[in-house]
Amino acid sequence: MIVATGKSIMNRIGIGKIKIYKAPEYTINEDTIEDVEAEVQRFNDAVQKAIDQQGVLYEKALETAGEESAAIFEAHQMMLEDDDLQDSTREIITGQKRSAEYATKTAFDDFAQMFAEMDDPYMKARSADLIDVEMAVLDVLMGNDADSLQGTEPAILVAEDLAPSETVKLDKSLLLGMITREGSSNSHTAILARSMNLPSLIQCKDIDDSWDGKMAILDGYNGCVYVDPTKDLLETLTAKRDADLKKEALLQELKNKPSTTIDGRNVHVYANIGGPADLGSVNENDAEGVGLFRSEFVYLNSKEAPSEEEQFRAYKRVVETLAPKLVIIRTCDIGADKTIDYMKLDKEENPALGFRAIRICLTRKDFFKTQLRALLRATAYGNMGIMFPMIISRWEVVEAKAILEECKAELLKEGYKIGKFQLGIMVETPAAVLCADELAEEVDFFSLGTNDLTQYTCAIDRQNAKLERFSDTHHPAVLKAIKMTVDAGHRHGAWVGICGELGADPTLTETFLRMGVDELSVNAKSVLPLRKIIRSLDLSKPATVE
Ligand code: PEP
Ligand code: MG
């Protein structure tokens, strides 16, 4: 048995086989090849696999997003089956003696270009689909498709590191746990792992490729992974895992009960989500609404900037499904660790302090307007809030609101209906805390982003694993900043919630309630445990915590 240690980010146990995850590789070899026949066969197999994968995606989309959204995968299948396209690719392999990857890229790019040059707007738009199917074939050829990266069986995934853009693409139903050599506990990857309730270890320095396929236990209580565990250990930890599952099942009794303290104080317990795919867990865990929809995951999940129509569909689906519950959608918060190739952002020395979130949106106005129009259109379908991230100054809120008004006027003129909605900002910079009084005059609510607020208040890079020793999630400066924000919000009639990870910390629930926090938005799996704590508190009695 091999024992390796790391930092646990979830007190849970995962048991299963290990799958070593390799980051996708996209370099295309342009050299000539010898075995032309074998290469043609590789291409034929890859196309067939890509066709089958589009079929699976079609079925999945049909189930979760409906016929209209699913139709795109059917169209992709037809494109891949096209004889002209396939023949052109094979001709490059045989005629020019090039690899299947090179031939695919060349032939598919040519076809995409041909479509792009057509006058008919419908045909023109097919160019992007061709690039999508090209990527699907290349992914199979290069071992970057989901089956190759993640396998087809449930497993504990072991990786050097996982970027948020990689994590969102993982099939959650196949994940029994996650182990990375790198990573920090406040990174978005860790946040995603928590939202999936996934036993996870970061900074596990001893991971090894030889573990691939071996049986393992990830013990989140001890921050250990046991590879090839002894029979005794397997029995003990299986029993512990099953006991955890039973305890979690007991929480189900709290469904449909209010999150109200013994003395009658009601607190909203909402869920944080990344997109429509998380709707199931919002309902399963009886969240009273969504306090943070990280809309950038809609962008991260896409190969190019999602259109107004695509975004509208995603937002509408969430808002409509959860109505009349409140759904707060945060405008695109990209930059720092959430990078997107198609945004073509410059590399920066200091990305956490750089061109990100609202700064990008206020600079690239058309990009921002596409999202705001989609959001405004979705307001007609339920109870929505729109929230701006990374605010430091009042003028940013004023300017963002003016652009929102501009979009509203355009949409009304075009005949769209716009519903009522709330407007808020993330308070996640010390500047916003210190200017909270004036900012509160501009908005209906504040949502404290404690992940970034801690990073900026304590000058601790949330991505830097080396700083964990200096990082104190309960730092008095952060707690003081939260109290100041709550007081400033309330002075001006704005309600105040917390949507950073700290909101789910059960040791702080009483403190937050005594501070006057109105809402806690947490990963869906923490909703019922928090409700349990809230229902056990009596704020009329002396505090049980400092
Ligand atoms: C935060 O900063 O606390 C937050 C909720 O936003 P994100 O983690 O996405 O930066
Ligand atoms: Mg943030």
pLDDT, position 121: 79
How far is ligand 2, taken at its centre, from the CA of residue 356, in Å?
A: 10
- The whole-number average pLDDT for the span 146-154 is 85
* Residue 42 region by backbone torsions, left for phi larger than 0, else alpha for psi between -120 and 50, else beta: alpha
Nearest alpha carbon to residue 522 among 250, 278, 313, 257: 278
Residue 229 Cβ inside 6 Å of ligand 1? The answer reads: no
**Smallest CA separation from ligand 1 atom 8, residue:** 451
The residues annotated as belonging to the active site are: 188, 499
pLDDT at 546 over 70: no
| Under 8 Å between Cβ of 213 and 192 | no
Provide CB contacts within 8 A for 298, sequence distance 6+.
275, 306, 310, 311, 314
Atom of ligand 1 nearest to the CA of 336: 10
pLDDT, position 441: 98
pTM for this prediction: 0.78
Residue 300 Cβ inside 6 Å of ligand 1? The answer reads: no
**Smallest CA separation from ligand 1 atom 4, residue:** 449
Provide CB contacts within 8 A for 254, sequence distance 6+.
286, 528, 531, 532, 535
Ligand nearest to the CA of 454: 1
In whole angstroms, what is the distance from residue 488 CA to residue 496 CA? 9
pLDDT, position 172: 83
How far is ligand 1, taken at its centre, from the CA of residue 15, in Å?
A: 30
pLDDT, position 104: 96
Write out pLDDT tens, residues 259-306.
Answer: 999 999 999 999 999 988 889 889 999 999 999 999 998 898 777 889
Helix, strand, coil shares of the chain, percent, nearest 5, are: 55, 15, 30
pLDDT, position 304: 80
pLDDT at 48 over 80: yes
How far is ligand 2, taken at its centre, from the CA of residue 123, in Å?
A: 40
Is 86 in a helix, a strand, or coil?
A: helix
- The whole-number average pLDDT for the span 209-227 is 96
Ligand nearest to the CA of 449: 1
Residue 167 Cβ inside 6 Å of ligand 1? The answer reads: no
Write out pLDDT tens, residues 166-192.
Answer: 777 788 889 999 999 988 877 777 887
In whole angstroms, what is the distance from residue 287 CA to residue 299 CA? 24
pLDDT at 202 over 80: yes
Provide CB contacts within 8 A for 540, sequence distance 6+.
262, 263
- Residue type (1 letter), 285: N
In whole angstroms, what is the distance from residue 532 CA to residue 258 CA? 10
Residue 499 Cβ inside 6 Å of ligand 1? The answer reads: yes
Residue 497 Cβ inside 6 Å of ligand 1? The answer reads: no
Establish how many alpha carbons lie within 13 A of residue 37's alpha carbon, considering only the half-sphere containing its beta carbon.
Answer: 0
Is 307 in a helix, a strand, or coil?
A: coil
Provide CB contacts within 8 A for 478, sequence distance 6+.
450, 453, 454, 457, 458, 502
Q: Name the residue with tokens 């919630």.
A: 497
